Each structure stands twice: as C-alpha cells, then as structure tokens.
Amino acid sequence: MNNERKVNLDFETLAWSLLLIWWGLRWWLLVSLPNGSGLIGTGVILLGLNAARSLNGLPTRGVTTMLGILALVFGGLLLAIDVMELSFQLPTFEILLIGFGALLLARAFKKPETKIRCCS
C-alpha cells in the first residue's frame, strides 16, 4: 500500500510540474501560439496523468479526467475559431456547459449500485 501511494504521489508531482512548466512557457515564450493551444496542452497533461495511473494499476481520478476532457474540448473550440476564421460566433461557453453536463450525466449512470443493508 505504501509503495502504491508513493507511485501515485510521484505521478501527481510529475503532472503538477508539467502543468506549471507548460503554463509558464505558454504565457512567456509561446504567446504566438493560437488560442486554445494552452488548454489543449493542459487537457493532454491531465488525461496523461490518469492514463499513467491506469497503466500502473492505480485508480484514476474523476475530477482530473473531467477537467482534462473539458480542457481539450474548450481548447479545441477556441483553436477552431482562431484557425478557421469563422464568420459567425461559436457559443463556446454554452458548448462547454453542455459538455460538462453530459460528462456529469454519464458519470451518474456509471456509478455502481449500492446495496442497502437491513438490520438483522
């Protein structure tokens, strides 16, 4: 158990390190990247953390999975708006809310059944 906790802490430390380095580079040196690329990188790091946990037999965290997916979706929408130069405005915030609601709904249906114990 102690070894499993140590590996998990190493993954979290690695992920936080990568996130802070990515954000610092994105805001300092990589300012010329199109909109959404910072969120896409953040989503990849968060989902990579859970992939590493899963591959090592550790439980994944639902919060970082949902945040990673939302960051990828929102970053992809912002990147699409920037690259495609659309003549209309995409409702990015509303799409993000719909995506978040869909993730929460899927998570609610995924939960295992809990059995109610009766007094004997």
The answer to whether residue 31 is domain-embedded is: yes
The answer to whether residue 35 is domain-embedded is: yes
In sequence order, the 6+-apart residues with CB closer than 8 A to the CB of 64 are 15, 46, 47, 49, 50
The answer to whether residue 90 is domain-embedded is: no
The answer to whether residue 83 is domain-embedded is: no
Question: CB of 45 within 8 A of CB of 15?
Answer: yes
Mean pLDDT of the 38-60 span = 91
Mean pLDDT of the 23-35 span = 85
Confidence of residue 49 (pLDDT cuts 50, 70, 90): very high
Q: Say how many domains are in the chain.
A: 1
The answer to whether residue 99 is domain-embedded is: no
**What domain range is 56 assigned to?**
2-64
The answer to whether residue 16 is domain-embedded is: yes
Apex CA 98: angle with CA 95 and CA 103, to 5°? Answer: 125
The answer to whether residue 13 is domain-embedded is: yes
Mean pLDDT of the 40-45 span = 94
The answer to whether residue 48 is domain-embedded is: yes
